[in-house]
Amino acid sequence: MLARRIDRLTSSLVRDILAAATRPDMISFAGGLPAEEALYQPSLPDGKLPDIWQYGQTEGEPRLRELVAAHGRSLGLDCTAAQVLIVNGSQQGIDLVSKLLIDEGTPVLAEAPAYLAALQAFRLFGADIRGFTVGDNGPDIEALQQQLAQTRFTYLTPTFQNPSGYCYSDAERDAVAASLDAADGILFEDDPYRDLAYDAPAPQPITGRLRRARWVYQGSFSKTLAPGLRLGYLIVHPDFITPLTRLKQAADLHSNRLSQALVADCLERNELAAHVASVLPIYRERRDAMHVALSQHLGELASWQVPVGGLFFWVKLRQPVDMRALLAAGLDAGIAVMPGDAFFAGTPDVSYLRLNFSHADPAAILTGAERLAALLHEANRLAALVA
Amino acid sequence: MLARRIDRLTSSLVRDILAAATRPDMISFAGGLPAEEALYQPSLPDGKLPDIWQYGQTEGEPRLRELVAAHGRSLGLDCTAAQVLIVNGSQQGIDLVSKLLIDEGTPVLAEAPAYLAALQAFRLFGADIRGFTVGDNGPDIEALQQQLAQTRFTYLTPTFQNPSGYCYSDAERDAVAASLDAADGILFEDDPYRDLAYDAPAPQPITGRLRRARWVYQGSFSKTLAPGLRLGYLIVHPDFITPLTRLKQAADLHSNRLSQALVADCLERNELAAHVASVLPIYRERRDAMHVALSQHLGELASWQVPVGGLFFWVKLRQPVDMRALLAAGLDAGIAVMPGDAFFAGTPDVSYLRLNFSHADPAAILTGAERLAALLHEANRLAALVA
């Protein structure tokens, strides 16, 4: 007999797609992988590894915590190193915050759509996830306000949201912050894509605009440096650092010290900004290539906005299709995509696909769009025959 | 409002002791830290880091999983690489197994005493922990048998147990395995100290003796190589690998690939056995030094068995003392010890101290024993005055 939460572990569809996406002949728009060319490769000045072999501190390496806190202050967060907890990438931050705040049945407020793996983790801990729409015109702030009082915390990715790509304006951020303050709420702001801004810098986080509500702000080095490092961080309201540190201790004592030393070196040498500056042209080119490819091949089949940051196009099909059949046919045809319905906690909108543009190169993006268009034409032809 | 489980996070006493133990003037018998001299330092043949910067597989690096499975088979486990899950040290294995098996109120069977941080994690998930005694004469197998039917799984550290140092005999292992089979139970065998055998090799794990009961076997590279790597592994019954992999994915996607590559290199080059062989004389010398020091200074105050493996002496005081006062006085006097009561899930036996012998060198062990004896004499003198 297993724990009840095991029944809530999501089906393996997404895992199956991502596993199939690694086939050598596959063009994958499915995951959220950085370009191979964009991966940061730390150098060891004298060819020697740092001296990090003993047990370390649960909160993280002091040097890295200081550097992260300084970064937080540069984003307008009122914080010191004592409020920083180093984690094994954002996913662990989501696990720890779930443990901090979610009982079975706890109502949680999230964007609709929202980051798939966060919804999965919240559900695993038994959350009752309520949603408010984030559409082409931004968040439905009235719907957010109406639900704040009935929910324990609000999970937001306001900057180049996964999957929609939307970036909240300054006015929207201020309105959300004021609503959270008025409701004495808790904000969990997940901000992994902030530096991947292709057209203009992102507005400052919502967290720094709060006056009363408590908060957890999460950042990651997976998208800017390298996911294999498994390193991210939480900067949190003073009330939360002690329980989160104890939860981290119970989860795995502390994060990998080698990665922490390498990232601290990178930050101290001011290499992060330079690395991001070298990555942005690669991603901007791929984003533009995907817009051109979609316009050329899917213009009559779908609509989308060009994302101003992040890693994804959020594509709305004009005619609904049998998404499972489309996915299967896509894997056969060598094109992996991610169905949009998995990103909705409540009633899913089944007309969306999420397409990643960072991992495939521009030529593959064009070929992939061609393959996808052929599948959609075929699906629509079959649907017309049935109708 | 926080989740209910936060109320179950253990008080900070142990954290306070371990934090105080890092003071430069402190002699620490409190933690379970390897000797600095015993830490494995991976070398990079060409001074270059391995190419591990992209996202990796949740289950772990295929090369490392194969090597771990081969190690498992050498210990008598019926397993393949498909049953291996790489984790961030044993603590994460405990977190994942807790998620797999524990609901609020789930009865769990554990040794009394048992590994403190496992008890804490089980409690965090709401376990109702039942105990059976492991004393100087070994496990109370009748008590184990009586409770198997009422508990969901059994957590054991049969090899150089933390804290008692006890090593189950072959006969005891066979009896436990037969009992688990008869009850159709689930065994969680935690085996981090197996290679730290100072007098004779440890008997094979209980897991390999099972015929029917399901199992999770856990190993670690923290005690044999280096804890800073944060790397351990689960080898599990086929029923458990899929849910555990999904739980790992929800917890942090995958473990640090850099550590995995370095450890796989170490294992492929057959450096693990050589490293352990270089460590054993250091620890054997310290164990013997602690026995001499305790005999010299605490012979009238306490009793103990010389541990045949692992990292700890489990010392029984002849007269009970006010343990909190002893700890505080110890930190003032520059000697950190771990109270034994924290290792009991049920009614604690307050007459024990756990003393680590791996971290301090032989001279410091002697000084530490002197300081501890002085404190105990003073505590006994005060107790006599009050009586």
Please spell the DSSP secondary structure of B118-142, one letter per residue: HHHHHHHTT-EEEEEEEETTEE-HH
Q: For residue A377, is pLDDT > 90?
A: yes
Position A185 scores a pLDDT of 98
Buried-state track A325-348, b at ≥16 Cβ within 10 A, e below 16: ebbebbbebbbbbbbbbbbbbeeb
Q: Is the dihedral of CA A160, A165, A167, A173 positive or negative?
A: negative
Using a CB-CB cut-off of 8 Å, the residues of chain B touching A106 are 3
CA atoms within 13 A on the CB side of A25: 6
Position A1 scores a pLDDT of 86
Pairwise CB contact (< 8 Å): A3 & B34: no
In this predicted complex, what is the ipTM? Answer: 0.96
Per-residue confidence band for A48, with pLDDT thresholds at 50, 70 and 90: confident
Pairwise CB contact (< 8 Å): B100 & A47: no
Position A61 scores a pLDDT of 96
Q: What is the DSSP letter of A309?
A: B
Nearest 10 degrees: Cα torsion B147, B152, B158, B160? -110
Per-residue confidence band for A12, with pLDDT thresholds at 50, 70 and 90: low
Using a CB-CB cut-off of 8 Å, the residues of chain B touching A247 are 9, 124
**CATH for B4-39+278-386?**
3.90.1150.10
Distance from C-alpha of B288 to C-alpha of B199, rounded to nearest angstrom? 12
Instruction: Map tokens 């072999």 to a residue.
Output: A53
Residue B260's Cβ-count burial label (10 Å; 0-12, 13-18, 19+) is buried
| CATH assignment of A62-272, among 3.40.50.360, 1.10.3720.10, 3.40.50.970, 3.40.640.10 | 3.40.640.10
Residue B310's Cβ-count burial label (10 Å; 0-12, 13-18, 19+) is buried
Q: How far is B1 from chain A (nearest CA, A)?
A: 7
User: How do the pLDDT tens digits run along chain B, 387 residues long?
Assistant: 899 999 988 756 777 777 777 788 899 999 889 999 999 999 887 888 998 999 999 999 999 999 999 999 999 999 999 999 999 999 999 999 999 999 999 999 999 999 999 999 999 999 999 999 999 999 999 999 999 999 999 999 999 999 999 999 999 999 999 999 999 999 999 999 999 999 999 999 999 999 999 999 999 999 999 999 999 999 999 999 999 999 999 999 999 999 999 999 999 999 999 999 999 999 999 999 999 999 999 999 999 999 999 999 999 999 988 888 899 999 999 999 999 998 999 888 889 999 999 999 999 999 999 999 999 999 888 888 876
Q: What is the DSSP letter of A108?
A: E
Q: How far is A142 from chain B (nearest CA, A)?
A: 24
Position A11 scores a pLDDT of 60
| Residue spans of beta strands (DSSP E) within chain B | 27-28, 84-87, 107-112, 128-135, 138-139, 153-156, 186-190, 214-220, 232-236, 302-303, 312-317, 335-336, 338-339, 352-356
Distance from C-alpha of B40 to C-alpha of B33, rounded to nearest angstrom? 13
Q: Is the dihedral of CA A99, A101, A104, A109 positive or negative?
A: negative
Structure tokens at B56: 């990796």
Q: How far is A190 from chain B (nearest CA, A)?
A: 15
| CATH assignment of A4-39+273-386, among 3.30.365.10, 3.40.50.1100, 3.40.50.300, 3.90.1150.10 | 3.90.1150.10
Residue A242's Cβ-count burial label (10 Å; 0-12, 13-18, 19+) is middle
Structure tokens at A192: 């992994």
In single-letter form, the type of residue at position B202 comes to A
Residues A97-111: tens digit of each pLDDT? 999 999 999 999 999
Please spell the DSSP secondary structure of A111-135, one letter per residue: EES--HHHHHHHHHTT-EEEEEEEE
Domains of chain B by residue range? 4-39+278-386, 62-272
Pairwise CB contact (< 8 Å): B2 & A48: no
B272 three-state secondary structure = helix
- Bridging pattern class, strands B107-112 and B153-156: parallel
Per-residue confidence band for A47, with pLDDT thresholds at 50, 70 and 90: confident
Pairwise CB contact (< 8 Å): A249 & B47: no
Structure tokens at A368: 């992939």
Residue B43's Cβ-count burial label (10 Å; 0-12, 13-18, 19+) is middle
